[in-house]
Structures are given as structure tokens and as C-alpha cells.
Structure 1
Amino acid sequence: MASMKLDQGSNNHGETSLSDVKPDNDIGWKSKLKLPKRDGRIRTTDVTNTKGNEFEDFCLKRDLLMGVFEKGWEKPSPIQEASIPIALTGRDILARAKNGTGKTGAYAIPILERCDSSRDEVQALVIVPTRELALQTSQICIELSKHIGCKCMVTTGGTNLKDDILRLYEPVHVIIATPGRILDLMNKNLVKIGKCGILVLDEADKLLSQDFKGMLDNIINHLPNDRQILLYSATFPLTVEQFMRKHLSNPYEINLMEELTLKGVTQYYAFVQEKQKVHCLNTLFSKLQITQSIIFCNSTQRVELLAKKITELGYSCFYIHAKMNQQSRNRVFHDFREGHCRNLVCSDLFTRGIDIQAVNVVINFDFPRHAETYLHRIGRSGRYGHLGIALNLITYDDRFALHKIESELGTEIKPIPKSIDKSLYVPEFHMEGDPSEESNNQNCQDGAIAP
């Protein structure tokens, strides 16, 4: 943004002048920030194909910009560039963008900018489908808002309601919640959102599915009539269209999904028998350079059985699924994020929005039946334009689902080669300015890694 040199103080009527905005008359304010170490990995056009805007171009509060830069966010991604200025005007938004391209920042920045910390009332409500995503989103909001005095609270099922009640005695400006818990708090009259002007639905397609039927309508009934609603998702089924017609007013539509899968995720399949899967997984572990991996199963029972097998093979492994108690889920989620374990076995609980930058390998131990599930699973790798691989163990019964998903997503899932090029997924092989290995395209004849 062009530097503004006007410095005339207040005018004769005591009104705010241009100098009070102080865009950069504090020379060197950026040099005083506590910036994290720069991530030098190359990024794909999923996050770099922008119009060239900077965060300063959005006329954000200086204190919010400090939080943005100290979070390590250097430039807005395409979804942030398209969404932030529109959201700041108060208009409803229907935004579709790929997993891992910065959707959280696209709504967190404008709601925090519009938050007035001097008002002791809830001003924004963010609804997400899973407890883990709620914790992750609240942590991002807390980090972004650390200089602006905006108080963010997370509330989810599976936690002590008494703790939430005590927290609500203090000022809360932004609430991040799962639908059931926030509805419970509203119905008990423990949280008042009659003056809450912004509602965000993250992973909107999941929130509007049968799993949460009717909950969103009930929540919206507690909001003021002039509220702003922001919907973000990678996929938008018909339920979203019905919701949009019912609750949104002339929404601004953003669609950055010309192609569905992330450019940075290379996809392979290995054709195996069911009884060979664990042996094949063991081979993959021995051949791949895994920073962290997420391994998906189609049932909670298989999650636990596979985690036990992996541990018996001598590899570090956590597991997580929806039937675990919340305290255990929180501990596993936290410890895996912190890098305390290399491999995580999970159910589809973990497909929504979970952002762990170190994950460079996703393995579908059980192949999903639906393209939407597949899309969200492999999106756990290659976060924010970085590179990663997705490996699918395909049985004879999965062959039709494989072709169906390839067709629906317009993507290619290749037979797995004997040797996977490290530059496709190993961070130190694709740092900016570093030479990459030549791609090795030699495929196995039967499409499986040789045991």
C-alpha cells in the first residue's frame, strides 16, 4: 500500500484526520515484531496465484496486522484476498475453496477486525463440525487477536459445562463452537447472541448435512435480523443451496474450485489383497521418508486394531476416533500436533479442516466410498500449497470406487512406483532455491511397491 505522509493531527472540529489512521508513520513497526522462522518450502499456485495484494491493503487495524504477521502469515492467499475485503463490508458470503488454502484466515481476520473489544457482548459466532477443528480455530483466533484485546472462547461437547458457564461471566467477543454445545448454552440462556452480528459456518457442507439437521436453523433464530452470514467449504451439496435461499441475503459468491484436488498432493494406489494390507503398510513405512503421516480407516474398530498392529511392528503410533472420551481426544490431537508421534491412525473424524503442517503422507488403509470423503482425507497432506503424497491401498472390491472417485474429481490416481521421488513430498527436497531430484516415473508392473 502506498505510504501516507499526511500528519496534520486532528482538525479544528476534533474529528479524526487521515493522520490518526497512522498506516506507516510508525517507522519500522514491523521490525519490532516477534516473527516465527520463515517457512522456506516452495508453494503451489493453490496459494500463490493472487492479484498481488498485501495484508496492509485491507486497511486492517495495526494491532491486528501485528498478530497476522507474528502468526507467520506473510501474504494473503487467493481465498483470503477474495474474501477479506467483502467480509469487511458486512455482506453475506458463500465461499468455495480447496482444503488447506487459508479459509480460516479468510474469515478470522475480518471478524476480528470488526470486533469492538470495548463492548462486553458476543459479536461473532464461528460454528465448526468437530471438536478438534473448534480447538484449532480458536487457537488461531487467539493468536491473531493477541494485540487487540478481543477475547475468544471455544466451547464443544464432551467438556464440562460448568467451565463454560464460569468463562461466560467474563467478557467474550468471539465464540468458536460445535453446534450441539452452543445450542445447549443458548437454550439454557447461558449465552446471549441477540447482538451477535456475524455468523461463520466453516465446513458448511458438513454442518448442513443430516448429522446436524435443524441445529443451524435453531441457532440462527437467536441471532439479530441484520446479521452477516459467512459460509466456507470445499464442497457445496444441494443442502447448502437450500440454506442459502432461506437465510442469506444477496450473498457474494466466491468459487476457487476450477479443479478439486490440491496441486501439491501426488496420488498413488497399490493394488493389494485385504490380508496383505498390514504387510504393504510396513513396506511403505520402511521405504518412505515420513515426517508425519495420517492413516485412515473406515471404522473405529479398525482404527484401534491397526494402531495396535503398527505399534507391534515397532513404529510410533497414536489413534483417534469419535468414540474416545474428549480428554483422550484432546491429548492425542495436541501431542500429534506437537510432533510427539510420527503416525496417526484415525476415522473420518479427522478429515475436516485439521491443519498439521508436518503431515507429508496420507494413507487410505481403507479406501473411502465417496469422492467428498476422499477429497477431505487427502487434503490433510499438502497444506497451504506445500507438497505431499496420498497413498491408497486398493482391494478388488475397491476398484469401482477408485474409478468413480477419479472421474468425479477429475483427478489421476497413479499406480505406485517402486521408488517415490522425494522431491514430491520430503520438505528438505523442495525448499526454495534447492535443487530437486529428477522425478522417477518408473512404475511397478502390478502397481504395488515390491515387498
Structure 2
Amino acid sequence: MDNAVLRALMGGVQGSSQNVGKRIKGPNSEAGAGAKSKDARTAVPQPEFATKGTRTAREKAGSKGASDESLAHRERSNALRNQLKIKVENASRLTDLPDPLESFVDLCDAPYNLNVAVPNALAAIHALQPTPVQRQVIPCMLLDKQVVAVAPTGSGKTFAFLVPLVVHVMRLRHTLKEKSKLKRLELPKAVILAPTIELAQQICRVCDLFLEQLVIEREALARGVKCRLLVTRAHAAGLHSNEGKGVDILIATPLRLSSELVKGFIRLEYVQHVVLDEADKMFEVGQFYEQVQGILQACGTGLKRGKGCQKHLFSATLSQTLVPNVLDTKAESHVKIVVGAASYGGTAAVQEVAERVEQEFVFVGNGGIAGDRAKVLAVRNLLRENRIMAPALVFVQTQDRAQWVHKALSEDISGCAAMHAGLSHSHRQRVVDDFRSGVVWALVTTDLLCRGMDFRGVNTVINFDFPTSAVTYVHRIGRAGRGIAAGETSEQSRAFTMFSQEDQPLLKAVAVVAAASGANVPAWMLELASTDRRQLRKLERRPVVTKVSRERAKLAKRAERKGRLARGISKKR
């Protein structure tokens, strides 16, 4: 199938370029073909510097027309960016900023020159038209530019970095085979880091699907490209047996990859691209900061000078100050792309979420154990009013809370399950598969699943525990309404956030973000006093006092008393 047919099918019809590059022949004069005038024969040759800066009228007119054409082309590209709400932060400093894609078929033209199998493979997996973030990120990464992308949840960031990564790896494998560098051929060439096991598995599944479809579409370079997952001990054992070889694209969590890197079971010196998905989570203090820094330092150490490892950051909520602090290169060397708003941060990410999710705040009283009972009653009332549409995600703060809420809601909701990091890997995988297949209709989970997970068809999100920050709020409600096109709304997609008197210090930060996105927020919430940053950090890390935690404290005290009595009796004896 040629490019013209593909453009007609996928809506990317453009003007024909058959006459581009053809030489225009002028009329031949028989009298002047072989004869030269006397003035021409006796003309004195001029030195090069005498005619170097002079141009004829035709040349001046041609250069003016070319400049006008390039200016018009630039204006069309800027108009398309404005229409799609794509903002490139440092566009004025980039003289070679690529145009946004009008369709995936544009990848077959210069300067990308990809095989027609790429848009065919994307169409086969129902990616017919690129999303706004894909339109600008894919061209930039294909032209070897480092990208920092901020786009709303559910905007297609995974394919935005997977497509150029796969293309780079395919071309690099072909080059290494031609140069007979077989040892380097077996080592990782690209690394994708994700904060959770579930997100890493999702990325790996999408990558395998894309590679499989490329092979079906007869893309010869895709044969032999291997995408490996490294999130469990079983995956690590497979790398040990093969000494970390036979991997092209490595998808891992920071803790597992850092552990294998320290043990020397994997080599990253020839990695040319590193993608940090949910980058802001990666660099939170106390999370993965040290491990990620060690991984970044180990990547690309064997490459030639001038061909260092490129680092790409993706997130829905990314602080602008994080970029220069994280990356060892200058911020100006990166293409910073923001989709859906004019700046970084939670407000930018939630604006398009509000278009597809109806947000509502529910007051449940003073908090504590009575507040928890009131939250359960509130969920039952919402069920009675048929306002909760399955499938639904219920977010809580801790693992104990997940078990307790699951037990409380199981009486009213059939097909309810709990999901948190305290469960085994096989159990977690089984619960996620059951939720995707529809066996589980209501999933009670911690913030483990609030980032990056693409659950198509989630209609309701319930923040049973108030989110600890505006960023967490954005990622939680972003699980609902995924797959709905920008500008479209769904009456079934809702997000309920329950709050008590204890949550008042955190309330304004979340309410401001929700109001800025267009949600209906009571005016008194926006008039609350702002909380100091230090106090906010303490509140974010506060333990949730519940019936479960109090019962555990009582049991611990009883055990301590029994131990004291036992020690006292033994001393008397």
C-alpha cells in the first residue's frame, strides 16, 4: 500500500510532491548553442572575491520566494500547535524544531523516511490518528532531540516514546550487524523506567504488541528486536542465566534495575536512550532518587564523545524546576513540550481531565472512626442513587485501609477486590487481570495504581481517603474516562472525593486545581487559608488513624503487658 492510499484512508491527504526536485530545462537556442560572442571570448576573468556577494535579480526573487514559503510553512505549523494546544517552551531557541505530524503517514516522508509498515502497524492496533502529544514528541525523538513532555493522563504518552524508541533500536541493530559488532548487538540499547511493577508490565505489553504487528506488516528490521521486563526475581534470574545479553529494550523498575546493576548482572554502557515515565515520582525524596541517579550515571558510558545517552522525561505533573536539577545537560538542549495548558504542574494536567470526568466533593463529618463509617454510608447512598457506575476504582492511603475498606464494601458490591503492594506479585497480577476482564467490578487500591495505568472503561473513581496532594488528585481522577476523545464528555465518568474536617489543611490545594480545570467547586473552599509548605509535607506523610490501626495498637500493648508479666514471673522463680 503506497503513501497516497494510506493518506486517503487515515485522513492525512496532502499535496502531491511529484514535481519536487525535478530539473526544469530552458529553451535551446541554435544560434547561441555553439557560438560565443566576441565580448564573451575576450572578457577578462574576475577574481572570486569580486563576484562572491553579488546576486542577480532572478536569484534575489527566488530567495525572497523561498523565505516567504518557509514563513508560510512555519505559520501553518504554529497554527496547528495552537489548535491542538501544544506549547513548546523553548521554541524560539530551536531553529530546527520539527513540524507536528498531521497523520502517522507523514513518518514515511522526509526527514523520517520510515517504512510504510510503521503506520500500518499503528493502524492495526487502532492508533489511526496521533494524539497531540504524539504529534510533536515522535518527530522530535526521531530527530535525536531530548524531550521533556507534560501531557494530561490518558493522552497517549506511552506510544509517544515507544514508536521512536523502537525505530532507533531497529536502525541501530541494522548498523551494528553491518559493522559486525556482535557483542554490542546483544546489550541493551534503550531503557524505560517506571515507578511500579504494574505500569512496567503495561508498557512491556504495549511494546510487544507493536513489535509483533511490525513483523506481521513485514518490517524486516523488527525481526529479532527483543523487549525484556525486569521487575521481579524471576526476571532477574533470566538475566543471570544469559548474563544480561539478548536485550534491546529493557523495561524495569528503579529498585530492581539498580540491584542488578550493583551485582554486575547487567551492562548499560551502550544505552543510547533512557525514558523516565512518571518522572516526577522517580525523583521524589525517599522514593527512587538515589537508584535513578545511579542508573543514569551508568547509561551510555561506553559511547563515543558527542554521542551521549539521551534522557527523556514524561509525566502528567512535572515541576519546571525539576528538569535542570535532574538532567546533567543544560535545560536549553531539551525540547520541552506541554499539552493542554501553558505551564507545568497539576493545573495543566487536569484541565482536559475535567472535560471527560465530572468531579464532586462529599463531606463526611469530623473524621476518625466516625468519619470512616460516614464514608461507607456515603458510598452506599451513591450506590442507592445509581450514581456509581462500574467498573470503579476506590483509592485509600494505606495497605491496612485497603483491606478494611474492601471488607466493608464487599457487603454491598459484588465483585469487589483489594490491591496493594503488600500482596504477592502473582496475586497482584491476577487482580489486575480480573479487573481488566470484568470479573472484578470495584477495585480498592492504594496509590499504587494511580499513575500511568491504562484501564479503559473505568467510569467511577472514589477518593475514599483524601489525596495527600494536588498531584495525587490529578493522577487518581485521571484513571476515569480514558479513551474519550478530547472535547467529548461522558455522563457516566465521575470522580467522588470524600473529605472530613481533618482534611481541611489539604483541601484548598486540591480545590484550586479542580476549579481551574472547570469543575464545580464551592466558593468557601477557595477562600480557605493557605497552608504552609512544611505543614503540607507533614500532612502528606501523616499516618491515617483508623479502627484497624487502633486495634493493632491495643493488641501490641496487651502483648507488651503479657511479656512484662512473663518476665516478672520468671524473675521470681
Normalising by structure 2, we get a TM-score of 0.61
Partner residue, 1:395? 500
Q: 1:343 aligns with which of 434, 442, 466?
A: 442
1:340 Cα deviation from its structure 2 partner: 1.6
Q: 1:58 aligns with which of 101, 107, 115?
A: 107
Task: Verify the 8 A CA contact 2:323 2:331 in the aligned structure 1.
Answer: no
Q: 1:285 aligns with which of 380, 383, 390?
A: 383
Following the alignment from structure 2 to structure 1, what is the Cα–Cα distance between the partners of residues 519 and 501? Answer: 16
Partner residue, 1:369? 468
1:341 Cα deviation from its structure 2 partner: 0.9
Following the alignment from structure 1 to structure 2, what is the Cα–Cα distance between the partners of residues 314 and 217? Answer: 44
Partner residue, 2:121? 67
Following the alignment from structure 1 to structure 2, what is the Cα–Cα distance between the partners of residues 256 and 169? Answer: 37
Task: Verify the 8 A CA contact 1:125 1:174 in the aligned structure 2.
Answer: yes
Following the alignment from structure 2 to structure 1, what is the Cα–Cα distance between the partners of residues 162 and 497? Answer: 34
1:71 Cα deviation from its structure 2 partner: 1.8
Partner residue, 2:428? 329
Task: Tell me: CA distance 1:292–1:299, structure 2 relative to 1, closer, same or farther (3 Å).
Answer: same
Task: Verify the 8 A CA contact 1:47 1:385 in the aligned structure 2.
Answer: no
Following the alignment from structure 1 to structure 2, what is the Cα–Cα distance between the partners of residues 156 and 108? Answer: 19
Task: Verify the 8 A CA contact 2:101 2:139 in the aligned structure 1.
Answer: no
Return 5+ residue gaps in structure 2 as ranges: 6-15, 19-80, 87-99, 109-113, 175-184, 216-221, 302-307, 342-347, 366-370, 523-573
Spell out the pairing of 1:7-406 with structure 2 (5 A cutoff): 53-59=102-108, 60-116=114-170, 117=173, 119-146=185-212, 147=215, 148-149=222-223, 150-157=225-232, 159=234, 161-166=236-241, 171-210=246-285, 211-224=287-300, 226-237=308-319, 238-246=321-329, 250-258=333-341, 259-261=348-350, 262=353, 263-273=355-365, 274=371, 275-286=373-384, 287-288=386-387, 290-385=389-484, 387=490, 388-406=493-511
1:335 Cα deviation from its structure 2 partner: 1.8
1:166 Cα deviation from its structure 2 partner: 3.8
3-state DSSP of counterpart to 1:312: coil
1:163 Cα deviation from its structure 2 partner: 3.1
Task: Verify the 8 A CA contact 1:362 1:378 in the aligned structure 2.
Answer: yes
Following the alignment from structure 2 to structure 1, what is the Cα–Cα distance between the partners of residues 198 and 242? Answer: 20
Following the alignment from structure 1 to structure 2, what is the Cα–Cα distance between the partners of residues 326 and 54? Answer: 39
Per-residue CA deviations over 1:373-414 (Å, capped at 9, x if unaligned) read 101111111224454211112223334533321214523543
Equivalent position amino acid for 2:379 in 1: L
Task: Verify the 8 A CA contact 1:294 1:344 in the aligned structure 2.
Answer: yes
- Higher helix proportion: 2
Per-residue CA deviations over 1:123-150 (Å, capped at 9, x if unaligned) read 1100111110000000001001112222
Task: Verify the 8 A CA contact 1:362 1:380 in the aligned structure 2.
Answer: yes
**Larger C-alpha radius of gyration, 1 or 2?**
2
Identity %: 27
Q: 1:411 aligns with which of 496, 502, 517?
A: 517
Following the alignment from structure 1 to structure 2, what is the Cα–Cα distance between the partners of residues 241 and 374? Answer: 25
1:236 Cα deviation from its structure 2 partner: 1.7
Task: Verify the 8 A CA contact 1:303 1:321 in the aligned structure 2.
Answer: yes
Task: Tell me: CA distance 1:169–1:204, structure 2 relative to 1, closer, same or farther (3 Å).
Answer: closer
Per-residue CA deviations over 1:224-268 (Å, capped at 9, x if unaligned) read 251111111112233333113557670111011413311211101
Per-residue CA deviations over 1:136-173 (Å, capped at 9, x if unaligned) read 00000100111222211111146563134346666221
Task: Verify the 8 A CA contact 1:294 1:361 in the aligned structure 2.
Answer: yes
Task: Tell me: CA distance 1:366–1:191, structure 2 relative to 1, closer, same or farther (3 Å).
Answer: same
Per-residue CA deviations over 1:68-121 (Å, capped at 9, x if unaligned) read 222211110000001000000111111111111000010000000111255433
3-state DSSP of counterpart to 1:337: helix
Q: Relative contact order (alpha carbons < 8 A, sep ≥ 6): 1 or 2 greater? A: 1
1:336 Cα deviation from its structure 2 partner: 1.2
Per-residue CA deviations over 1:345-386 (Å, capped at 9, x if unaligned) read 001111110000021111101111310110111111122445
Number of residue pairs the alignment of both structures matches:
378
Return 5+ residue gaps in structure 1 as ranges: 7-44, 417-451
Following the alignment from structure 1 to structure 2, what is the Cα–Cα distance between the partners of residues 90 and 394? Answer: 47
Following the alignment from structure 2 to structure 1, what is the Cα–Cα distance between the partners of residues 102 and 165? Answer: 19
Equivalent position amino acid for 2:359 in 1: Q
Task: Verify the 8 A CA contact 1:47 1:101 in the aligned structure 2.
Answer: no
Task: Verify the 8 A CA contact 1:46 1:385 in the aligned structure 2.
Answer: no
